[in-house]
Structure 1
């Protein structure tokens, strides 16, 4: 897909944790190895093996080993892959969040954090060997050129794109390009049975980090942020400004499942709710040097109540925002204990286009607490400890959260907060049953719903084109026939998910999926959040405060 969610770094990070080195190499060797491998020249192989083992430094030994394998080993070996594995293993011995980004992934990671890519601006799927537009992306050139959901793109610059079993990667590479470059498309429109010749210029297409914003009720505005990218603060400001214009006196800032991103963006968002001079966060590096960030006078929402929603997958920059507000006695943190990542990474480029994201400091909330979970027993234990939350009961009961009195801190107003292991919310909201959550994640949040909904819309698009977004949200209902059809769709693919056990959830996700393809992400979130227990808690808390 041209539009994508970048999960590659998470997968890379987890994969690196499973590999094992037989001995530990210090950081100095890691840096020297990477530098030597990537920029080292050819070795002189007249040297004897004794010379190899009496080299004046370990980095020379490793450099030479790679070259011996490259030039002398009996079989062809991809030494680049050896280097990647070596660097991954070295970083995995440092901490859980120092990672290597291969050059094959750096562009995707950079686009995700920049908040845009250059292309035509469509979300697509290959349907019966045809490149089919699921929807056009707001702000991209395709929507301005008149491309519509359901269109089949037959050719791009005279290259045939149907009937070839093309991979998503091939299609993406074909549609992406240099900003301003032209691309000629031949499009078949099923709704009118006509072929169209459409010429457009590639341009920057936004990858939004604010998934949605809308009014929960007459007083509360809702904003969902999925990551902290370069564009996030601007998107956030636009959203909250519009919400206040629509009467919002309180903001529900949803940081659930937000893995973090740029620290500076988190600081800017926290600044909007804090008065001038309040400490937001401080960092401490290897030398013990501290860098403190304080709120400025520019905060436009200091008079607004704020509710920050977090869960066990809220990490890093999300925790900076939650910790800054909680420690300054501003707003209310709602949800479940956050992930617990208090390390700061800096991305360092390598000569071949790859990069190392290296931990360079720890950060601390205003009261001085570190919320980083211990990784003293290794990376595997670190991630296993996280998954134990699903077994030890803490996602169902706040009483099951283990806290240490030695990590107790107190805010200016006397509220007790704890370090070590994440931000503990002020108001706890339990997770629905683990089994139900697993089924929803595996099926209802998967591409299965999107694909099924698309097939339905492909046959009924003309019937729905005159329904307004507001009318769809308030009156459109998913029929039992549609639900039964989805059940059969799953059975045909060998998926034993019983829709009858989760019928209401299924209807909600089918309607939301349909809304996403018809109207966009904002409407998708608006429908899903109608039965959101955490948002219901926010509404209850705000009503109680307003009485």
Structure 2
């Protein structure tokens, strides 16, 4: 049959219209179209927001109303389904991606100026000649000084697109003129392996602070170097690690397990299960392993500890972990914001869920530390409440429990005295770090010829510096109260100085010298103290 070409567009149009009409009459259950189709519940919310936008007597920021509404909905689901607003989204992306685009410095807003703490080794700022103690007073002609200085706005001026340049004006102690420094922005890593070194001749140590996209590569590099240096055993420190990507956790577990061992099972609302297994790629399958956890080890950290414990690999040392057994997926909301929605539960290889109970009050859920403190769990393993109905058995006959975190194989109590808690607080809340910066700002030249190893093993914090910090922190009236904890106070001060002089590796090396959990590991190894390695 022959048609005149002028009728072809009409025929095609009619055919498409007919297809749309017929398709609209067909019932395809559970497709994405029907899942997100208009319904009365969504219409109600949209109409309410429109009424407020156009009819309400006063001007209202409906964006903030939407944010509150989204948060309210998610708070009624579970503690880990969360909303990420537009102004926080990029920071979250950078953190989990493991890098950002910028100039590569850590800084303080100190006395109304931007003070450089350290440059990231090999980063753009270091290559351009920026040094610790420099004050950056302007970026591209915009003043970065004064009482209105805000950390987020500073970061916005220093970050930017890869390859773009920022022109800085820098004030340096001992130099009369203002320095002009042009820096090309590059990709800067956000390191997730805080420390990697040898505790003794055969025992290596790696501390991971989160499970980001780059973590596995960092871990592999650290492990490879430790093995090259003669480590045949490993301490994997996951204390205070809040988690991250499941795939990263699975990759790290794979390094320790033989081929075809179950690592993890996830189950969604429909009961559909996904299993992940180890492969033949592991580089530390035969090495002795210790995994350190505490009450702040969560999510992906618990996946690692649970998979290894259930496969009878290594020894878990420390205190009961947080207890998060829910899986989230990040989903864009179309306006630059996103939601991390719980989509599944995960189970360890023996079949246990380690998710602790949660109700309507998220504050109680996240502040369970107080409950653990009161029931004595932080001091005694016997105070950990277990449910016999959630008892599981590993292939070698070890009994493990579900229902709320990973219970370690070897328990190490926490020092919960007021003195110890106070020192930990002032050390970790940034206060001691500010003191360290001000001290180094006035004495930096004294450390110019001091190597990292010399500082870590030989430098001594004297009583006068402790007294100086006590006065700075307003603890001087209670010096006698801390008398028995002077050693711990000196260690914390030294560690904070080391962090700013040499980085996190030196910080962890110093703190670990007096760490009771690591001392327990060395006790298990048949040693009474750390054999210091200075090479």
When normalised by structure 2's length, the TM-score is 0.88
The Cα of 1:161 is off from its aligned counterpart by 2.2
Question: 1:191 touches 1:461 (CA, 8 Å); kept in 2?
Answer: no
2:206 pairs with 1:223? yes
Question: 1:191 touches 1:462 (CA, 8 Å); kept in 2?
Answer: no
Change (3 A) 1:303 1:193: farther
Q: CA–CA distance in 1 between the matches of 2:477 and 2:156?
A: 32
Change (3 A) 1:461 1:88: same
Of 60, 64, 74, the match for 1:91: 74
Question: 2:470 touches 2:479 (CA, 8 Å); kept in 1?
Answer: no
**What does the per-residue CA deviation read over 1:155-209, in whole Å, with 9 as the maximum and x for residues that have no partner?**
2222232345411122111111111101112222214445322211001111111
Of 432, 439, 448, the match for 2:422: 439
Question: 1:277 touches 1:296 (CA, 8 Å); kept in 2?
Answer: yes
Tell me the equivalent position of 1:80: 63
Q: SS in structure 1 opposite 2:468?
A: helix
2:515 pairs with 1:523? no
Q: CA–CA distance in 2 between the matches of 1:300 and 1:421?
A: 31
The Cα of 1:128 is off from its aligned counterpart by 2.7
The Cα of 1:129 is off from its aligned counterpart by 2.4
Mapping of residues 19-418 of structure 1, within 5 Å: 57-163=40-146, 165-376=148-359, 378-418=361-401
Q: Which of 509-518 and 158-167 deviates more?
A: 158-167
The count of aligned residue pairs is 496
Question: 1:390 touches 1:434 (CA, 8 Å); kept in 2?
Answer: no
Q: SS in structure 1 opposite 2:46?
A: helix
The Cα of 1:487 is off from its aligned counterpart by 1.3
Rg larger for: 2
Question: 1:417 touches 1:424 (CA, 8 Å); kept in 2?
Answer: yes
Question: 1:483 touches 1:499 (CA, 8 Å); kept in 2?
Answer: no
Of 436, 446, 468, the match for 1:453: 436
Q: CA–CA distance in 2 between the matches of 1:244 and 1:93?
A: 48
Question: 1:139 touches 1:206 (CA, 8 Å); kept in 2?
Answer: no
Q: Which of 474-483 and 157-166 deviates more?
A: 157-166
For structure 1, the residue ranges without an aligned partner over 5 or more in a row are 1-30, 41-55
Q: Which of 123-132 and 111-120 deviates more?
A: 123-132
Question: 1:251 touches 1:307 (CA, 8 Å); kept in 2?
Answer: yes
**What does the per-residue CA deviation read over 1:361-381, in whole Å, with 9 as the maximum and x for residues that have no partner?**
111000111111122565355
Q: CA–CA distance in 2 between the matches of 1:268 and 1:349?
A: 26
Change (3 A) 1:305 1:351: same
For structure 2, the residue ranges without an aligned partner over 5 or more in a row are 1-31, 528-535
Q: CA–CA distance in 1 between the matches of 2:137 and 2:428?
A: 30
The Cα of 1:517 is off from its aligned counterpart by 1.0
Q: CA–CA distance in 1 between the matches of 2:420 and 2:472?
A: 21
The Cα of 1:224 is off from its aligned counterpart by 0.5
Say what the alpha-carbon RMSD is for the aligned residues: 2.3
The Cα of 1:383 is off from its aligned counterpart by 3.5
Q: SS in structure 2 opposite 1:111?
A: helix
Q: Which of 420-429 and 501-510 deviates more?
A: 501-510
